[in-house]
C-alpha cells in the first residue's frame, strides 16, 4: 500500500496528474495546441473557400478546367484572402486584392488564439506571446507550402508573400484573441502607460470618424450612380449563381472602396490605371473594367458636386484631427502648455501613418497593362494625412489643454496668469516692488481688510527651505501645472 507521502510526491509539479506543470512542460503543451489550432483554422478556411469555388465551377461552363484545377483555384483564393499576390498567365500580377476576405481567416484565427489562452489557462503575457507564435509560425509555413502545391499553368501564388501574409494575419488575429482571453479590453487599456493610452484613444477616434465618413461617401456615390451600376450588371449577365458570387466579390472589395473614399477626402485621391486620377477637384479617367463597384467613381474634369459640398468633404479630415486631439488630451491629466500640442500632433501623425498602410494594401496592380497602377498612393496619403490631421489635432489639443490648465488654477484658488490680484497685475513686471502691488509669481490667498490690512501671500516660485537659504528662506521653483 502506497503511503500518502509517496502519492503526494509522485503528483508534484511537473509530473502527470500533479497539481501543476513545470514551465518547459507548459510551453510544450502550448506549442502543440498552437500547431493543432493553426491546422484546424487553415482547414476550415480552405473548406469554406472550396465550397464557394466548387459552386461556381458547377454552375459555370468549365470546358477544359477539371476538378483538380478548380481545387487549386480554391487554394489560390484562400491565399488571396490573406493578401498574397497572384501571377495570372496572360494577364500579369494581380495585387489589388479584396480586404474584406481577410475577415474569414481573421475570425478563425482570433477564435483560435482565444480558445488556446482559455483552455491552457494562460495568465502570463510571455506564455500568451508563445501561444500566438505557436499559431502564427506553422500557419505561415502551411500557407507557403500550399502556395507551392497550388501552382498551375493558369495561376500561381507568390510563396514568399504567402508565408509573410499568413504569418502576419495569424499573429495579429490570434494576438487579439489571446489578449481578449487574458483580460477585458478596458483592463488591458488601463495597463498601458498614460502617454500610449492617450495616443491609442485619440488615433482610434480619428480613424473611426474617417472610416464612418468614408463609408457614407461610398454609399452616397453608389446611390448616385445606380443606373451605371445596373448597366454594368446587365453587360455582364452573370446569372443567378454568378450574380451571387459577383455580389460576394463586391462585398470583399467594399473596404478597399472605403479606404479610397478616405484618400479622396484627404485630397490625393486615387488612380484607376496609369495616368488617371480621381480627386475632389476633378477626375481624369480612361476605360474602366466591367466591375459594378467601379460605376460609383465620379468623373469629369471638375468636382463631383457643388463647390460647397467639396469644401465640406475636404474639411472632414480636419474635424477628425480635432476630435483625435481632443480625445487624446482628455485621456490624460493636465499637461504642460507646451507639451499638449506635441501630444496632439503625435496622435494625428499616427492616424496618417495608419491610413498610409491601409492605402498600400487597398490598391495594387491588376495586370501588366494600363491597370498596373490602381488605388491611392500610399506615401501621398500618409504625408497629407500626417500634415492635415496632425496639425488640426495639435491645435485642438493645445486649446483644450489650455482651458484645463486655466480651470485647474481657478479650482486651486490661483487666478490665471494676466489677471489682477489686489492692486497690481501679477504678470506685469513694472508692478514689482510697488507699495500696492505684488511681485511677479506671487498670488494673494487670504486678505482681510477688517483685520488691519493683514495679507497672506503665496510665492509659486518658492520651494522648501534649505541650508544655503537659511531656515526661513524658500529655495527652488515649485511645481505648477
**Local confidence band at 195 (pLDDT 50, 70, 90 cut-offs):** confident
CA-to-CA dists, residue 385 to 24, 280, 287, 327, angstroms: 47, 15, 29, 18
Q: What is the pLDDT of residue 339?
A: 87
Q: What is the pLDDT of residue 64?
A: 66
d(CA 206, CA 320): 5
**Local confidence band at 429 (pLDDT 50, 70, 90 cut-offs):** very low
Which of 315, 350, 311, 329 is CA-nearest to residue 396?
329
* Beta carbons within 10 angstroms of residue 17's beta carbon: 8
Q: What is the pLDDT of residue 322?
A: 96
Q: What is the pLDDT of residue 431?
A: 42
**Local confidence band at 328 (pLDDT 50, 70, 90 cut-offs):** very high
- Contact partners, residue 42, CB within 8 Å, separation at least 6: 105, 139, 142, 143, 146
pLDDT at 196 over 70: yes
Q: What are 447's strand-pairing partners?
A: 455
Q: What is the pLDDT of residue 304?
A: 63
CA-to-CA dists, residue 161 to 121, 279, 460, angstroms: 34, 31, 61
More confident of the two residues 294 and 90 = 294
Q: pLDDT (tens digit, 9 = 90+) per residue, 41-68?
A: 999 999 999 999 988 888 876 656 788 8
| Mean pLDDT calculated for residue range 391-415 | 82
**Local confidence band at 225 (pLDDT 50, 70, 90 cut-offs):** confident
Q: What is the pLDDT of residue 412?
A: 63
d(CA 219, CA 212): 11
* Beta carbons within 10 angstroms of residue 63's beta carbon: 4
Q: What is the pLDDT of residue 68?
A: 85
Q: What are 375's strand-pairing partners?
A: 271
Q: What is the pLDDT of residue 145?
A: 96
More confident of the two residues 78 and 459 = 78
In terms of Cβ atoms closer than 10 Å to its own Cβ (0-12, 13-18, 19+), residue 1 is: exposed
**Local confidence band at 240 (pLDDT 50, 70, 90 cut-offs):** confident
Whole-number mean pLDDT of the chain? 81
What is the pTM for the complete model shown?
Answer: 0.80
Q: Would you list the DSSP string of 82-124?
A: TT--EEETTTEEE----GGGGHHHHHHHHHHHHHHHHHTT---
More confident of the two residues 421 and 254 = 254
More confident of the two residues 409 and 331 = 331
Amino acid at each position: 500500500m502506497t503511503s500518502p507521502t509517496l502519492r503526494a510526491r509522485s503528483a508534484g509539479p511537473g509530473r502527470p496528474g500533479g497539481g501543476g506543470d513545470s514551465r518547459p512542460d507548459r510551453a510544450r503543451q502550448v506549442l502543440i495546441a498552437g500547431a493543432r489550432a493553426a491546422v484546424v483554422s487553415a482547414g476550415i478556411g480552405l473548406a469554406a473557400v472550396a465550397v464557394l469555388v466548387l459552386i461556381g465551377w458547377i454552375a459555370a461552363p468549365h470546358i477544359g478546367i477539371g476538378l483538380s484545377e478548380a481545387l487549386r483555384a480554391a487554394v489560390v483564393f484562400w491565399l488571396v484572402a490573406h493578401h498574397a499576390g497572384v501571377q495570372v498567365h496572360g494577364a500579369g500580377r494581380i495585387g489589388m486584392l479584396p480586404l474584406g476576405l481577410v475577415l474569414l481567416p481573421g475570425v478563425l484565427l482570433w477564435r483560435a488564439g482565444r480558445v488556446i489562452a482559455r483552455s491552457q489557462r494562460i495568465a502570463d503575457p510571455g506564455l500568451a506571446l508563445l501561444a500566438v507564435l505557436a499559431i502564427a509560425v506553422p500557419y505561415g509555413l502551411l500557407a507557403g507550402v500550399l502556395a507551392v502545391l497550388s501552382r498551375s499553368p493558369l495561376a500561381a501564388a507568390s510563396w514568399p508573400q504567402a508565408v509573410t501574409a499568413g504569418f502576419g494575419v495569424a499573429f495579429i488575429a490570434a494576438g487579439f484573441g489571446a489578449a481578449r482571453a487574458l483580460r477585458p479590453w478596458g483592463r488591458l487599456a488601463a495597463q498601458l502607460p498614460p502617454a500610449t493610452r492617450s495616443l491609442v484613444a485619440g488615433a482610434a477616434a480619428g480613424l473611426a470618424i474617417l472610416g464612418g465618413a468614408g463609408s457614407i461617401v461610398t454609399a452616397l456615390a453608389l446611390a448616385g450612380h445606380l443606373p451605371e451600376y445596373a448597366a454594368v450588371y446587365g453587360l455582364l449577365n452573370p446569372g443567378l449563381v454568378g450574380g451571387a458570387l459577383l455580389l460576394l466579390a463586391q462585398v470583399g472589395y467594399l473596404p478597399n472602396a472605403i479606404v479610397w473614399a478616405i484618400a479622396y477626402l484627404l485630397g490625393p485621391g486615387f488612380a484607376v490605371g496609369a495616368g488617371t486620377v480621381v480627386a475632389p477637384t476633378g477626375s481624369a479617367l480612361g476605360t474602366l473594367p466591367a466591375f459594378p463597384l467601379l460605376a460609383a467613381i465620379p468623373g469629369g474634369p471638375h468636382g463631383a458636386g457643388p463647390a460647397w459640398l467639396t469644401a465640406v468633404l475636404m474639411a472632414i479630415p480636419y474635424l477628425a484631427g480635432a476630435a483625435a486631439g481632443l480625445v487624446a488630451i482628455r485621456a490624460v491629466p493636465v499637461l504642460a502648455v507646451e507639451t499638449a500640442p506635441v501630444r496632439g500632433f503625435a496622435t494625428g501623425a499616427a492616424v496618417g501613418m495608419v491610413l498610409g498602410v491601409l492605402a498600400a494594401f487597398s490598391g495594387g496592380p491588376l495586370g501588366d497593362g494600363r491597370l498596373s497602377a490602381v488605388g491611392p498612393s500610399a506615401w501621398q496619403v500618409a504625408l497629407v494625412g500626417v500634415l492635415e490631421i496632425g496639425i488640426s489635432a495639435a491645435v485642438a489639443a493645445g486649446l483644450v489643454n489650455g482651458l484645463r490648465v486655466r480651470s485647474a488654477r481657478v479650482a486651486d484658488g490661483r487666478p490665471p496668469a494676466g489677471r489682477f490680484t489686489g492692486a497690481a497685475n501679477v504678470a506685469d513686471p513694472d508692478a514689482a516692488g510697488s507699495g500696492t502691488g505684488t511681485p511677479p509669481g506671487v498670488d494673494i490667498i487670504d486678505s482681510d481688510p477688517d483685520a488691519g490690512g493683514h495679507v497672506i501671500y503665496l510665492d509659486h516660485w518658492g520651494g522648501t527651505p534649505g541650508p544655503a537659504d537659511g531656515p526661513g528662506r524658500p529655495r527652488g521653483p515649485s511645481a505648477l501645472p
